Amino acid sequence: MATISLRNVRKKYGGFLAVPDLSLEVQHGEFVILVGPSGCGKSTLLRMLAGLESVTGGEIAIDGEVVNDRMPRQRDIAMVFQSYALYPHMTVAQNMGFSLKLDGRSKAEIAERVQEAAEILALDKLLDRKPAQLSGGQRQRVAMGRSIVRDPKVFLFDEPLSNLDAKLRVQMRAEIKSLHNRLKTTIVYVTHDQVEAMTMADRIVVMNAGQIEQVGTPLELYDRPRSRFVAEFLGSPAMNMLPGTLGGEGGATALRMEDGTTVPIPGVGIEAPAGREVVMGVRPENLSLARGGEGVEAVIDVVEPTGSHTLLIGRIGPHAVTCEIAGRVPVASGSRVRLAADPAALHFFDGESGARIE
Ligand code: ATP
């Protein structure tokens, strides 16, 4: 276990400032996941932590000790990559014990550590196999095993599941989570899969253009995204975003879209003057079919039954909207319905900056 402190960390590649100024504290035993779109600097940050990339400015400390100038091997960190090249001619046990052998550890110690890690990862019956005789998930576990045997203070994972098929990813998600529960090692994990982040992290760090947009528990970020960027990044299908102008007498009671469509928003206590340009966000699962004349009209272009839910994909005025309803609904493609939302489930963001409006 270890704490990690990033203090005003900067990274420049030639003339390009990939990370302008980033600070983050990771607690003992915490599972922190970095998410963000391609190119936002997730791998750069992880590689700086590992010591594979230099830091242009600022400090990285592990357990209070600045490690900027330490070589990767001196940082007591293990990194698991997306492409986990195993040595094909070696058995599982030899693959897992290889780094210990390079360190000059005794045969007995290597065997003991490999056995321990293999039991944690349910690989103990496969120790004599070669990588070619393993499934994708088993190979991934061997890759993790190579790190576990070293008993590092910190695990870094760089998109470790992105080469696996969907079913295996779900299984490995659960395995990594339970591994963390058992080992309690501090983990920093990079992914661009928001489902992985939501399901595994103690805290999620949402990054955008080398900066942190928001840090919090998965549900904090999901329920109270601080910006439109975070709101759209977490959740699948993504949060609906309806731009317009606040209107109504004595406070905001309606959203007026550019084509004149008016969405009533009764009972919403936002402190925003009428006439302000905003974006109203509502998650697909917070929309429902309205009774009578309530809500707002939507045209449904596509109906997608997923089995447990029905997705209604269409438009409110000129803007796309997706509605996720539990169970089955008798709505046909091309029909018009009225959609309503719980006022407590509405989010408002500034039309220009995208910042949340309370
Ligand atoms: P992805 O999800 O696509 O892996 P990422 O968030 O991990 O993206 P990084 O690989 O950290 O992003 O890259 C951050 C930025 O730095 C990108 O704009 C990238 O083009 C740039 N970059 C990364 N490595 C280098 C390098 N060696 N030289 C110059 N620019 C680089």
pLDDT of residue 264: 86
Using pLDDT thresholds of 50, 70 and 90, give the confidence band for residue 68: very high
pLDDT of residue 268: 67
- Substitution candidate for ligand 1 out of 11, 44, 189, 207 with most atoms within 8 A of CB: 44
The two most distant CA atoms of the chain are separated, in Å, by: 80
Mean pLDDT for the chain overall: 91
Report the nearest-CA residue for atom 9 of ligand 1: 41
Contacts of 330 (CB under 8 A, 6+ apart): none
> CATH 2.40.50.140 in the chain, residues?
238-357
Give the fold, CATH level 3, of 4-232: Rossmann fold (3.40.50)
Report the nearest-CA residue for atom 11 of ligand 1: 41
Using pLDDT thresholds of 50, 70 and 90, give the confidence band for residue 252: low
pLDDT of residue 251: 59
Q: Which helix (H) or strand (E) holds 200?
A: helix 194-200
pLDDT (average), residues 125-138: 91
Q: Which has more confidence, 168 or 325?
A: 325
Rounded distance between C-alpha atoms, residue 43 and residue 18, angstroms? 11
- Of the segments 204-213, 272-281, 284-293, which one has the largest average pLDDT value? 204-213
273: cis peptide before it, omega within 30°?
Answer: no
Report the nearest-CA residue for atom 26 of ligand 1: 13
Using pLDDT thresholds of 50, 70 and 90, give the confidence band for residue 169: confident
Q: Above 60 in pLDDT, residue 88?
A: yes
Using pLDDT thresholds of 50, 70 and 90, give the confidence band for residue 294: confident
pLDDT (average), residues 148-155: 89
Q: What are phi and psi of 198, to 5 degrees?
A: -60, -40
Residue 180: strand pairing partners: none
Residue with tokens 């997705």: 311
Rounded distance between C-alpha atoms, residue 174 and residue 161, angstroms? 12
> CATH 3.40.50.300 in the chain, residues?
4-232
Residue among 269, 224, 273, 204 at smallest CA distance from 42: 204
CA distances from 62 to 2, 19, 76, 188 (A): 7, 20, 9, 13
Give the position, in ligand 1's atom list, of the atom nearest the Cα of 41: 11
Q: Which helix (H) or strand (E) holds 144?
A: helix 136-148
Give the position, in ligand 1's atom list, of the atom nearest the Cα of 46: 11
ipTM of this complex = 0.96
Positive or negative CA dihedral for 260, 264, 265, 266?
positive
pLDDT (average), residues 341-351: 92
Rounded distance between C-alpha atoms, residue 120 and residue 183, angstroms? 9
| Terminal C-alpha separation, the chain | 38
Give the position, in ligand 1's atom list, of the atom nearest the Cα of 207: 6
Q: Which residues does a 6 A CB cutoff place in the pocket of ligand 1?
A: 13, 16, 18, 36, 38-44, 192
Using pLDDT thresholds of 50, 70 and 90, give the confidence band for residue 269: low
Q: What angle is formed at CA 132 by the lines to CA 128 and CA 137, rounded to 5 degrees?
A: 90
Rounded distance between C-alpha atoms, residue 200 and residue 217, angstroms? 10
CATH code, residues 238-357: 2.40.50.140
pLDDT of residue 266: 74
Q: What is the pLDDT of residues 312-339, one digit of tens each?
A: 999 999 999 999 999 999 899 999 999 9
- Substitution candidate for ligand 1 out of 42, 161, 213 with most atoms within 8 A of CB: 42
Q: Above 70 in pLDDT, residue 233?
A: yes
pLDDT (average), residues 107-135: 91
Contact (CB, 8 A) for 41 and 11: yes
Report the nearest-CA residue for atom 1 of ligand 1: 38
Report the nearest-CA residue for atom 16 of ligand 1: 18
pLDDT of residue 226: 97
pLDDT (average), residues 120-141: 89
Report the nearest-CA residue for atom 3 of ligand 1: 38
Report the nearest-CA residue for atom 17 of ligand 1: 39
- Substitution candidate for ligand 1 out of 12, 13, 163, 194 with most atoms within 8 A of CB: 13
- Substitution candidate for ligand 1 out of 10, 43, 48, 163 with most atoms within 8 A of CB: 43
Q: Cα of 210 to ligand 1 centre, how many Å? A: 9
Q: Cα of 103 to ligand 1 centre, how many Å? A: 32
pLDDT of residue 328: 92
With a pLDDT cut of 90, the percent of the chain lying above it is 70
Q: Above 60 in pLDDT, residue 250?
A: no
Q: Cα of 54 to ligand 1 centre, how many Å? A: 14
Report the nearest-CA residue for atom 30 of ligand 1: 13
pLDDT of residue 276: 87
Using pLDDT thresholds of 50, 70 and 90, give the confidence band for residue 69: very high
Q: Above 90 in pLDDT, residue 54?
A: yes
Give the position, in ligand 1's atom list, of the atom nearest the Cα of 190: 7
